[in-house]
Amino acid sequence: MHILPAIDLLEGKAVRLHQGRYDQVTVYHPDPVALAAELRGKTPLLHLVDLEGAREGKPVQEALVRAIIQAFGPGVEVGGGVRSAETAEAYLALGADRVVLGTAAIDDEDLVRRLAHAHPGRVVVALDAKDGLVATKGWLETSSRSALEVAQGLAGAPLFAILYTDIARDGTGAGPNIPATAALAREGGFPVIASGGVGSLDHLRALACIPGVIGAIVGRALYERAFSLEEALAAAAPIPYPPSRG
């Protein structure tokens, strides 16, 4: 299972939200570019989110995203406000390995399919659940569909993975929603990247035991030194990084 350190951008800083709330922000690093440079070479993957873009529905911090991609190198996946083909193509052109679409999976399934077929293995669909239903528009609105329902509706699309987050656990360190993550990996039809609530090495070990879970996103626990990146990589028993191109 891969470990993906998370850099969430808000007002030019690396932050974490508590349960997806923009009014509960903790700043963890004032210079996200320097943070990305520190992570370079230590792990092959980085999860990058433009939180302002997610809220506004369009990229807000493109210059900062570009600088972070350059600082980290290959292996960056970018999300937050990716709701058009133009935005997705622009991020891929900047050097992102993958783009993450969330709201678009609910609002424009056709877009997700077109992008996935145009860029096989370079599209991730983020399904963020609030009380079992997928939240959209930066987690500010809730749809009427479950994560499993949305994933199954995308059957046949050459996605890289589904990124699943239980919003109630995000940023809490209380542990990921193991049953829901396992059910999605078992029945959704796609590999799953788990997110939300990882606070200990045992949480990572539990996720690594779930068939079909290929990655885990870790943010607050790393920043608050609950464990080191090296310890996380060892707990997850990393698998070889698959090339995203070619």
Q: Catalytic residues, which ones? A: 8, 128
Structural contact between residues 124 and 79, judged by C-beta atoms closer than 8 angstroms: yes
Q: Taking Cα atoms as reference points, which of 203, 160, 213, 220 lies closest to residue 183?
A: 213
Distance in angstroms (rounded) separating the CA atoms of residues 88 and 100:
8
Q: Taking Cα atoms as reference points, which of 146, 34, 32, 143 lies closest to residue 78?
A: 32
Q: In this structure, what are the phi and psi dihedrals at residue 50, rounded to the nearest 5 degrees?
A: -90, 95
Angle at 125 between CA 173 and CA 139, to 5 degrees: 55
Q: Taking Cα atoms as reference points, which of 63, 59, 47, 48 lies closest to residue 83?
A: 59
